[in-house]
Chain A
């Protein structure tokens, strides 16, 4: 079965990103496919490579990057939500005159169409939020 996940909240403040990650791992372990993980609202904050969480706790951003690499996941950050919250890749930096970028590995910035496409193409779409 093809799953799509929508994550509406940022790392640590809400459990949403954790729940989604553990769901994704369980789904992959069962042999399902994750069509796309889409990050919206504050969920885009899961994609900054600038976090330094305490060493004795989970590193939410890095483990998403790692899961994406291991399983070739498509992790998409909504461009409009990212612009509002300061998640920036090279393209966005150039377009909007920012002097740096902060997008973590394994994530890409794109439009809301990717979320709708995920809803169309996946068999199930699960939303994690507040």
Chain B
């Protein structure tokens, strides 16, 4: 499954809840969720650990909008909206964690 998270992990527990539940597949961080994909944040360790079972992606336009594209966490694959579309197509289902 493709899991989509749009909130910063230091603001809401959405990402944590997703990581506690997600069995396998991929995680795409969009909107404020992209903050989780940046290095030097208190959440970086948890996201790095999650990379062991989920492929982690972050939406490039959202990183750039927030001035955070220069500090993407190692192991995160950055994609555009076309990549977002490809990910939704690739996985049989997607869940937006709201």
Contacts and interface: CB of A to CB of B under 8 A. Distances in A.
A15 B32 CA distance: 9
B96 interface: yes
Contact of A126 (B31, B61, B86, B94): B94
A123 B93 CA distance: 9
B82 interface: yes
B98 A129 contact: yes
Interface in B21-70: 30-32, 61
Given A126-B94, A130-B98, A25 B88 contact: no
Given A19-B6, A19-B31, A26 B98 contact: no
Interface in A109-130: 123-130
Given A15-B31, A19-B6, A19-B31, A26 B85 contact: yes
A113 to B, nearest CB: 21
A25 B98 contact: no
Contacts, number: 47
Interface in B63-98: 80-82, 84-86, 88-89, 93-94, 96, 98
B31 A30 contact: no
A125 B88 CA distance: 9
A22 B84 CA distance: 10
Contacts of B81: 22-23, 25-26
A9 B32 CA distance: 15
Given A30-B86, A32-B85, A126-B94, 13 more contacts: A1-B89, A15-B6, A15-B31, A22-B81, A23-B81, A23-B85, A25-B81, A30-B82, A30-B85, A128-B96, A129-B96, A129-B98, A130-B98
